[in-house]
Structure 1
């Protein structure tokens, strides 16, 4: 079903072969041990290239979720609960074995390429009049997937000075 989408993704993977990937992780809440709760950790579930609103892995395309950088757990005086939660996720990634500063993607969702090929939306992906299309934001319109991938791959291959090494 996804005959129009798969070749685009395969070509993108070939072009990105020498670009670094970012880690995919899953938050695990360990079982209690002798009635004592243990700290959550994030375990590695693969790697993918970050291309804007999507992640491209070897065998699938994913919708981006939350992104954290692993770092050790230290006491911080955050006033906002959301800052405390993000610091907790960063510490959980570090406990899970990610190197300090490593980027980890959480809460990603696999896109259904077959559904998108039939015209149904799968996250930001769908086919319109036989052309695979993608939306880069919920408020944005659709653009051809091929052009979107070209733009994002160019950013990955030729990042401007002073920017991160990822698109």
Structure 2
């Protein structure tokens, strides 16, 4: 699997990367609550359910598009939370309109088994589960498809 990932990184060398970050909840300063922000943690190639960095493989979490904070009414609490995350990205220095990945988690490639998600190893073959309801597919084929999409996105994507 290591050779497969090394090859993927080489093929992605000139492909665009996206930001990754950590959500830092606001602390109190002299009793006044501070707003949360998303602290930058680097960049990665976004390959569906995987984020590939120069040295790690991460499972994706949430994706947020940065935008300035504005006061507005929301019909749903989930909309309010997404707006708060978008504003936290802006406070963390992510330029408006850019995406940042949060809630990602590193994958231990040495500890993969048949129940790991989204990566697994069965009978010596590296597999990826591309959706919670979907089955596993060979990692090599998955990377080929995702790299092709990243390097040559469909028109108007």
TM-score, length-normalised on structure 1? 0.91
CA contact (8 A) 1:68 1:86 kept: yes
Find the counterpart in structure 2 of residue 157 from structure 1: 151
Instruction: Please state how far the C-alpha of 1:41 moved relative to its aligned partner.
Output: 0.6
Deviation at 1:31, TM superposition (A): 2.5
Q: State the partner residue of 2:20.
A: 24
The equivalent residue for 1:76 is: 72
- In structure 1, distance between residues paired with 2:132 and 2:29: 43
The aligned residue for residue 148 of structure 1 is 142
Q: Distance in 2 between matches of 1:154 and 1:25?
A: 25
Contact 2:27-2:35 within 8 A present in 1 as well: no
Return the TM-score normalized by structure 2. 0.96
Matched, 1:50 2:46: yes
Question: Which of these residues, 89, 96, 105, is aligned with residue 92 of structure 2?
Answer: 96
Aligned residues: 157
2:128 is aligned to 134
The structure whose residues are more often strand, as a share, is 2
Secondary structure at 2:140 match in 1: helix
Give the 4+ runs in structure 1 shifted more than 6 A: none
Structure 1's unaligned 5+ residue stretches are none
1:98-132 Cα deviation digits (max 9, x unpaired) = 1001101010011110012xx34332111111111
The answer to whether the 8 Å contact 2:64/2:101 transfers is yes
**Runs (5+) with no aligned partner, structure 2:** none
Deviations, residues 27-77 of structure 1 (Å, cap 9, x unaligned): 112331111111111100111111011111111111110100011001122
Distance in 1 (CA, whole Å) between partners of 2:72 and 2:125 is 49
Q: Contact 1:113–1:122 (CA<8 Å) still a contact in 2? A: no
RMSD: 1.0
